[in-house]
Amino acid sequence: MSLYNASDNLCTIEIMRAVLVAERNSLAQEEEARVNSRLKETLQADVYRYRGETSRRAFLSAYLHKPGFRFTYYLRKVASYQEKRGAFGILGSLYNRIQLHRYRFKYGFDISPTTRIGPGLYIGHFGGVVISPQAALGTNVNIAQGVTIGAASRGPRTGAPTLEDRVWVGANAIIVGKVTIGQDALIAPGAYVNFDVPSMAVIIGNPGKQVSSTGSHGYINRTIDPSPLDRAESLK
pLDDT the model gives residue 231: 53
Q: When comparing pLDDT for 225 and 18, which is higher? A: 225
Whether the predicted pLDDT of 50 surpasses 90: yes
Whether the predicted pLDDT of 229 surpasses 60: no
Q: What is the DSSP secondary-structure string of the chain? A: -HHHHHHHHHHHHHHHHHHHHHHHHHHHHHHHHHHHHHHHHHHHHHHHHHHSS-SHHHHHHHHHH-HHHHHHHHHHHHHHHHHTTT-S-HHHHHHHHHHHHHHHHHHTEEE-TTSEE-S--EE-S-S-EEE-TT-EE-SS-EE-TT-EEE-B-SSTT-B--EE-TT-EE-TT-EEESS-EE-TT-EE-TT-EE-S-B-TT-EEETTTTEEEES-TTTTTS-S--PPPHHHHHHHH-
Q: Any idea which of 19-23, 80-84, 136-140, 220-224 has the lowest mean pLDDT?
A: 19-23
pLDDT the model gives residue 31: 58
The model's confidence at residue 36, banded by pLDDT at 50, 70 and 90, is: confident
The model's confidence at residue 1, banded by pLDDT at 50, 70 and 90, is: very low
Whether the predicted pLDDT of 72 surpasses 80: yes
Whether the predicted pLDDT of 110 surpasses 70: yes
Whether the predicted pLDDT of 53 surpasses 60: yes
Is the separation of the CB atoms in 161 and 130 below 8 Å?
A: no
pLDDT the model gives residue 135: 98
pLDDT the model gives residue 93: 87
Is the pTM of the predicted complex or chain greater than 0.75? yes
- Separation between Cα atoms, residue 63 and residue 72, nearest integer Å: 9
